Structure formats: structure tokens, C-alpha cells
Amino acid sequence: MLKIFKAFVLVLFFLGFSANVAAHEVRPAYLQISETGNNIYKVFWKVPTIRNAEPDIKPIFPKGYTLEMLRTPQTRGNGMVYAYVLKGNESLAGKQITIEGLSSSGIDALINIEYANGEKASLLVQPGKNSGIIPGKTDKGQVVKTYTILGVEHILFGLDHLLFVLALIIITKGFKKVLKTITAFTLAHSITLSMAVLGYANVPGPPVEAIIALSIVFLAVEILKNINGEQTLTSKKPWLVAFTFGLLHGFGFAGALAEVGLPQSEIPLALAFFNVGVELGQIGFVILALILIKILALNKNWPMALKKLPAYAIGSIAMFWMIERIAGFWN
């Protein structure tokens, strides 16, 4: 009967997921500033496209600096890229920068700056505080904070990754088995995330995203077979399925991190804490799901229809994602 309660939890989650069926995580805006001369900077500003629309946000530099556009804005990946030259009478270090419109956009903005003397620094500004002081040198504490937050946000807004994890929880019996399965998933995507970011593996993003959606369809079919009394590979060895598909999900995480960018002087640190953030978000999600399952288990009379509805919902939504992503190959 526990599977019924687990399935009913998924129905509740679908009510929230259906409002954003595209399953694209919320990506931050990205501002790259590189000093090329005495207080002269090249500026690249990438604004993510959200629901096929570009948020009305832009960087505002301190008074005394002039911003000149270098070329016509270009589409790159899931966003628009603007290129500028910024000139001033003194260094940007220690100056305040503001991202106008960020408060109403609901997204973050990551700022990476490289000075002519080789120093590099990072800063994350968020809707609740859309301005900050530009660091003059690398701050390891800021790197840890920034990339941990980005990791947590990536997993919590990456609905396809969460849906995969939730499907694993539904089909896996027993807390110890769930723990083993989620650990296998974590280990697998940590391996491929690190390999991809460090340049040891390179897999095209669009096919990976399509296969990630297919992995969710696979689990939906496995759930239905399990409900019908069949013993499947996932029900017997969920950790093996989690590890196998987790390798693919790691490449998906790497694609998102590549779009955000890494501070070149602190790549291992930023990578490690992005992964820590992902795991923190995932652990929080798993705990919440298990708590809700336990609460719903107090009622022992859920009808049969609720057992199969989540599996069909999972399969339908994931199939939509897969078709959408395959269609995007030619866009």
C-alpha cells in the first residue's frame, strides 16, 4: 500500500509542476568584465531567455564611466549577448554595480571580473538585493557562497532532475534502499559533472537534455509495470538505474554550469561548491518528499486510479519535454 501513498504525493507535486511544463531551470544573467587597458574594460552581458521572452534587465555602472556598444546583440544558447566597451577614470574595484530590473525579474545575476594585473573576482546579486560592491581580488569565501547558491537554485528549479529523483523514490521501497539509490545518483552525476567541466569529456548539450527526458519516460513505464505486479530492473536494482542515468544528468548539470561560467582562478573550488549546492538542494527535496509520503501514509484507502495517474502524468510530461528538445535540434 505504501506505493499508493508515494504515488499520491507525486500527484500533489504535479499540480505545481504543470504551471511550468517546459522544465527549464531558472538560469542567472551573466556579466563578464575584462580589463584591457588602464581603466578600460570589455563587457559581455548575457540575458537568459525565459518563456521565450527576454527580461528587461541591464547593468548600471557608477557615474564617471561610459558604456559603448561594440556590436549588434546576438543570440547565444538560451539568451541574448550584448558586447560593450566600458571606460572610466579609475578602477572598478570597490565600486557599486546595480542590475536594473532584477528585483522584478526573479532571477540572479553572476558577475565575473578580470583585472589587467591578473586578479579575478566574482559577485552574485539577487532580486532581493540587486546591487553589490565589485571585489578587487579573488575572495574564496565569495566563490564558495556564490556557487553553492547557484547549485541549490539549479537543482530546485531544474524540474526534470527533480522529477527523475521523485520517480526513483516512488519505485524504491524502504528508506535504506532509497538512500542507496540517491547516493548512486549523486555519485554518478558528480563524476560526469567534474569530467565535463574539467575538459575530460565533451557531450553535446541538446542530445543529453533529450535523453534526460527519455530517462524519466523510462521510469514512468517502470512504475506502471511495478503497479501491475511485475518485477522490473528498477524495482530490483534502483541504484543501478540511478547510477546509469545519473551519468547523463551530470552532463546536463555541466551544460548549465558552462553557461553560467566559472572563475578561472578558482575552477576546482567553484566546481566543488556548485556540486555541494546541488546536493544540498537534492537532499532537501528528498527529505520533503519522504515526510509528505509518511504523512499521507496515515490514510490507507487511496483508490487504484491514483496509483496509475502519476505514472501516466510523468510519462506524458517527460515525453513532451523530449519532443520539444528534439525539435530544438533544428532551431
pLDDT in tens, 59-96: 999 888 999 988 888 877 677 899 999 998 888 888 99
Looking at residue 22, its pLDDT comes to 46
pTM: 0.75
Give the bridge partners for 190, in sequence order: none
pLDDT of 15 > 70? The answer is: no
Task: Give the torsion sign (CA, 190, 195, 196, 198).
Answer: positive
Band of pLDDT at residue 297, cut at 50, 70 and 90:
low
Band of pLDDT at residue 12, cut at 50, 70 and 90:
very low
Per-residue pLDDT reduced to its tens digit, 206-265 = 888 899 999 999 999 999 998 888 888 888 899 999 999 999 999 888 877 777 677 766
Antiparallel, parallel or unpaired: β 109-114 and 29-37: parallel
Band of pLDDT at residue 191, cut at 50, 70 and 90:
very high
Band of pLDDT at residue 18, cut at 50, 70 and 90:
very low
